[in-house]
Amino acid sequence: MKINKHILITFVACIILGVPWLINKYPQSMNFIDGVFYYVNNNYAAVFLNKSITVNDLHNKYGAVADGNPKVRILIVPGHEPDFGGTEYKNLKERDLNVELAKKLEEFLKRNDHYEAIIARDNKSWNTDLENYFTNNWKDIIAFFKQRKENMIHLVNSGEVKKATNGVKHNAAPQNVALRLYGINKWVNENKVDIAIHIHFNDYPRSGDSSAGKYSGLSIYVPERQYSNSTTTRVIAEAVFNRLSKYNAVSNLPKEENGVNEDQDLIAIGSYNTLDAPSMLIEYGYIYEPQFADAEVRDAIFKDLAFQTYLGLQDFFGGPNDVSVAYDTLMLPYDWKDTLKKNGTNNNKDVLALQTALLLEGVYPGDGKTKNDCPITGKFGACTAEAVSQYQKKYGITGESGVAGSKTLRSLNGEYSLNIR
């Protein structure tokens, strides 16, 4: 009897003390895969509920901000490093474009007091918190990476997780760069970041430094479906994609044509299941696309890309659109004054607004053309001339064939002018 009681007490004590002890002893050997929390150590096959951030968690958090609760924390990561990495085209460096766009997104988020926007770096340096984190936790970051990688290999070998490839090749990052990305993931996990958004521009092998590549358009990468942050990320990414793809071409690279693409190997979105929070990587277009070349046009295009991203987040959260605008694009409303024509000395902003209005009219791009053939560029070329002709046909405007002259502009101003609204 006495011995049995002893055993019972020991047994109960083991359970009470043992579980936290195990979690402490093997914090890195647990893995969140496919909605389930596995012990990866061979001796422990226990399965727990997954603790990754859900869609409901985010909705509740957004709603609770009004009662003085913490804001929704969004980390914006301009892709690559302050002085290193990313693609280049003519005078454009991707790593700087990523910062330009990131800052615009940060501005929109800051206007909404439900969000706390954190930007990972600028052109010169990492933000101080991250820089200090890298310096003070480098060994832990390496250990974190190694452990998660081992866990993944174990799960793949045991058949619990399937190795997945989408066929898109990504450039491998140098080791330190890769570790800083894992460091960001670890920091995200430890600092209650709710959503991470990585900003990039794509590239495709070109024949020379100044020739454009074959493909164009945007794509969003999300974690492969077995990862614990995959479901929530996909819901957010679909909302953002719906907004972005209204005015912008979707990548026509064969493997990116879905728009929202799963990837198991991109560190930024949590390769080796390193992220608890949702994370998406947005390739906002290919760096050689014409609308990114001119600084003034690019500024307007980036503002709108940031705005569409913001509206997508608002759609996800179901929050009111607290940017008071008449249109779901910043290109409109608009007042046109000067005649616009192919190869004329046109004002870029006039043409940006014209192309956008024509898109909303359903005549841009023209018959049989795609947004990849005819992106919104601020430049009046063949695509715009054809669309103006279609618009004139639609409204019975004669005598200005393909030229936005006084009659066409009067018609457009009647619908899209500042003065009307």
Interaction site with Zn ion (CB under 5 A): 79, 86, 200
Least spacing, CB of residue 86 vs Zn ion, in Å:
5
Nearer to Zn ion, 61 or 200 (CB): 200
- ∠ CA 28-130-195, rounded to 5°: 70
Nearer to Zn ion, 121 or 200 (CB): 200
Nearer to Zn ion, 95 or 371 (CB): 95
Least spacing, CB of residue 77 vs Zn ion, in Å:
11
Residue 301 contacts by C-beta under 8 Å, 6 or more apart in sequence?
291, 292, 352, 376, 378
**Which residue, judged by CB position, is nearest to Zn ion in the bound state?**
200
Q: What is the DSSP letter of 70?
A: P
- For 101-122, b/e burial (b = at least 16 CB within 10 A) is bbbbbbebbeebebbbbbbbbe
Nearer to Zn ion, 287 or 412 (CB): 287
Least spacing, CB of residue 170 vs Zn ion, in Å:
9
Least spacing, CB of residue 200 vs Zn ion, in Å:
4
Cα–Cα distance between 138 and 186 in angstroms, integer?
11
Residue 409 contacts by C-beta under 8 Å, 6 or more apart in sequence?
336, 337, 339, 340
Least spacing, CB of residue 359 vs Zn ion, in Å:
27
Residue 293 · residue 216 · CB < 8 Å: no
In 47-110, at which residue ranges do the beta strands (DSSP E only) sit? Answer: 47-49, 72-78, 88-89, 92-93
Strands 219-223, 92-93: pairing is unpaired
Nearer to Zn ion, 72 or 97 (CB): 97
Least spacing, CB of residue 281 vs Zn ion, in Å:
8
With H, G, I as helix, E, B as strand and everything else as coil, classify residue 221.
strand
Nearer to Zn ion, 195 or 287 (CB): 287
Residue 326 · residue 392 · CB < 8 Å: no
Nearer to Zn ion, 276 or 283 (CB): 283
Least spacing, CB of residue 312 vs Zn ion, in Å:
20
